[in-house]
Structure formats: C-alpha cells, structure tokens
Amino acid sequence: MSLKTAGTCSANTPAKPTAGHSNEVLKIPSIIEEFKPEIGIVLGSGLGSFADAGALDVNTVIPYSQIDDLPLSTVPGHKGRFLLGKFAGKRFIVAQGRVHLYEGWSAQEVTSGIRLMATSGIRTLILTNAAGVLNTDMRPGEWMALKDHLNLTGTSPLLGGAQFVDMSVVYDSELRHQFLAAAASCDTIMFEGVYAGVRGPQYETPAEIRMLGILGADAVGMSTVIEAIQARALGLRVTGFSCLTNWAAGLSQEPLSHQEVLVRGAAAAGRFVNVLKTALRNGLD
C-alpha cells in the first residue's frame, strides 16, 4: 500500500466494495513506517472529536483517499483519515473513521486498516464504537468497556483460510482494568459488558433486542467485532469501548436515529479523552 500521487485520475477513485477476498498484508506508506507507531486507536461514529480535542500532539494527517486500495466510508460522522501523533511519550496512529460491512465492503476490506496499523508496528489496539444499550443497569451517554463480544455479522476477516484463532480472550483484561481505574479516577462511569456486533445497516427490531439480551449482550453495534478478530489473529493486544449513544430498540419511545448517535457520541467523547489521557499517563501499554 503506498501514498497516491495527487492530481492523477486514480488518486480520486475510491476502491469499490467487492465480495472478493484480499486479506494480504499491504505495503504501508513510508511516512507511517518511519513514524513507528506503538498504539493504534480506531474512532467510531461521533468520536472523531477525540482527535480534534487537542489530546494528541498531531504530527501528520493522511486522508484514506491518499492510500491505494484503502476503502472509503460513505457514512456521515466518519472522516476517513489517519493521524500520526504523540502523547505521554507514546507514538499513536489514529484511524479517524472506519468502513463497515453494511456499506457493502467485505470483512477483509473492513479490516484493511487494522492490517496496515499492525504492519506499521503497533502492539496495542484501542477500538471505540457507538452502540445501543440494552442492559437497563447501564444508560445512554455513558461508556462501556468490552469484556467480550458476540460476532453476529455472519462473516469473518479470516474467511478463506484455516486460521483457527483462539478467541477465549479477545479483550485484554489487564488493559481494561487500567482503563477502568483511570475512569474511576476521572469520576467517569465506565461499565463493563458484552458487545453484540451485527451487520446492519438497519437498526434492530424490539424482538431482535430481546433475543440479544437472552444471548448475553449488554450493547449492540455495527462495527468492532470484525476488527477485533483481525487484530487478535495478528497477535495485537486489544481493548474496546462503546459509547452508549441510545437505548436499543423497544427500550424507549423515541425512534432510533443516526443523528442521535452522533450527538451523544460527540457529547461523551470528551470524557473518554480524559480517561485515555489518564490511562496513558499512568503508563498504559
């Protein structure tokens, strides 16, 4: 994978969703390679402000459109760029915006950014997402650290080979506890729970939400599980956080809307930035 040259025709032609499979580890732009990021972060819907909030000392911005073969998101609230920056003595690569299965991309395409970050040398990956909450002990506007997930997307980035990756511990418990301690010291509520990853793009029906509750889910969203599978297959330490943006379908009188997800995500992002900064200052890694 290399940086595109501006001004050529192909530079502005985004890759199109395909059903094909291409999970090779691509060549990464030299600017990322030379930066040698240690920690990767993926920001979900409405959480992009983390990168604008001055938390990171941003060195470089690389729009996804400048990287050959990297899929581009069509979803409002997803910017589509990598940031290279430093905080608390660590080098970060931040994926501001992701692509989703529901846009028509394959699981391999959805995870091409994860493979790029892994190849660039990160050892730790922090995944964030927006999710509907179905556990009534939790509530919208708060955060949930992922203890485990249910992959209900019907697909995997590892399709096409016999990679029998152990998924007994996807979300690193030590990392999670460092974040929980940081959240407590910032007076930020951080629940722990199980995230159900669905394909979307439609939100769930109340009956589906009741089913997910019976299956053990605390929150539901349309991302993260595929990325976490890919990251574990590449040996990364993974931690994940859901910004609980709305009550899941049937739990409130309000119809679900992407606008609500973006507004709640933006409002809660600042608190997560504080937790992240505190965890990093305490020596996360």
Nearest one of 16, 7, 3, 22 to 74, comparing CA atoms: 16
Tell me whether residue 185 is one of the annotated catalytic residues: no
Which is closer to ligand HPA, CB of 30 or CB of 205?
A: 205
Which is closer to ligand HPA, CB of 211 or CB of 256?
A: 256
Distance CA 199, CA 206 (A): 16
- Give me the least distance between CB of 203 and ligand HPA, in Å please: 5
96 binds ligand HPA (CB under 6 A): no
Tell me whether residue 78 is one of the annotated catalytic residues: yes
Nearest one of 279, 285, 275, 49 to 142, comparing CA atoms: 275
251 binds ligand HPA (CB under 6 A): no
Report in angstroms the alpha-carbon separations of 167 from 136, 139, 146, 191, 206.
27, 28, 14, 22, 29
Distance CA 259, CA 193 (A): 24
Residue nearest to ligand HPA (CB): 132
- Give me the least distance between CB of 29 and ligand HPA, in Å please: 31
246 binds ligand HPA (CB under 6 A): yes
- Give me the least distance between CB of 144 and ligand HPA, in Å please: 12
* Half-sphere exposure in the Cβ direction for 99 (13 Å, CA): 26
Q: How many other CB atoms sit within 10 Å of the CB of residue 214?
A: 8
User: According to CB under 6 A, which one of 48, 97, 221, 240 is a site residue for ligand HPA?
Assistant: 221
Q: Which stretch binds ligand HPA (CB under 6 A): 73-81, 184-192, 243-251, 271-279?
A: 243-251
Tell me whether residue 103 is one of the annotated catalytic residues: yes
Task: Look up residue 205 and give its amino acid.
Answer: T
Among the options 1, 117, 196, 222, which is catalytic? 222
Are the C-beta atoms of 170 and 149 separated by less than 8 Å? yes
Active site residues: 45, 78, 100, 102-103, 130, 222-223, 246, 258
Q: Where do contacts with ligand HPA occur on this chain (CB under 6 A)?
A: 130-132, 203-204, 220-222, 245-246, 248, 256, 261
